[in-house]
Structure 1
């Protein structure tokens, strides 16, 4: 699985004009399942993200995890993280997991994250508008 993390002071996701998820300080996590991913990959990714020390401590160093800060996670599915841009001008997405697998692994990932921190989610497969205030900015790519 792949994830793009953005440390945020706030973030929200809107579908058809309705805010369906929003958080204050924490992480916006854009997540994508690829062919061959399993629940074990979703668990490993959630555990890895939960332990990443990417939040400032009292000395201003990135030395605290999301759980340490009491922050929340906004988890949004984004199959385009699987884009292949090596040929031509149109990205290919054949590496992304089929929708039924992607949904199952997305849900599993969000549930695994929710064991340690408050989690809000987007809506799998929906046309979503995501708003955020990137804190730092800090943006990190993670795979498991």
Structure 2
């Protein structure tokens, strides 16, 4: 499982020109589910995301987590994160989880996030989404299980 996290001042996701999720300061999290991923992977990755120190403290050091700053989470499924780009000029998606499995784990991720964090917004699994963000820094990290 992979998560591309971006520290944002604000972010939103639209489907059919309608905003379906938005946050102010927080983390935009793109989630890629791979074959063999499990709820244990989700739990480990979510725990890491909530505790990952990417926000500045009073000394301008990245010592605070999204939980510490009471920031939002915007969770967006992105199967292209599971792509293998090692060979050739076209990505291979053979390592991505099948859609039904990916959706199940994405929904579990969202459910667990809502249980653990007060401000969670989402995209829509499998939809053609438009994501707008104001990256703060820029600060972007790829986390993997």
**TM-score category (smaller protein):** over 0.9
Q: Greater shift after overlay, 134-143 or 107-116?
A: 107-116
In structure 2, the partner of 1:129 is: 130
Distance 1:85 1:7 in 2: 25
In structure 2, the partner of 1:112 is: 112
Tell me by how many angstroms 1:57 deviates: 0.7
Distance 2:59 2:130 in 1: 35
In structure 1, the partner of 2:143 is: 142
Tell me by how many angstroms 1:89 deviates: 1.4
What's the CA shift string for 1:49-91, capped at 9, x where partnerless? 1011110111111000100001000000000001111222111
Contact 1:66 1:117 survives alignment (8 Å): no
Number of residue-to-residue matches in the alignment: 144
In structure 2, the partner of 1:30 is: 30
Query: Normalised by the size of structure 2, how large is the TM-score?
Result: 0.97
SS at match of 2:102: helix
In structure 2, the partner of 1:65 is: 65
Tell me by how many angstroms 1:32 deviates: 0.8
Query: Over the residues paired in the alignment, what is the CA RMSD in angstroms?
Result: 0.8
In structure 1, the partner of 2:96 is: 96
> Structure 1 residue runs of 4+, over 6 Å off?
none
Q: Greater shift after overlay, 86-95 or 59-68?
A: 86-95
Tell me by how many angstroms 1:37 deviates: 0.4
Query: Normalised by the size of structure 1, how large is the TM-score?
Result: 0.97
Unaligned runs of 5+ in 1: none
In structure 2, the partner of 1:6 is: 6
SS at match of 1:103: helix
Tell me by how many angstroms 1:103 deviates: 0.5
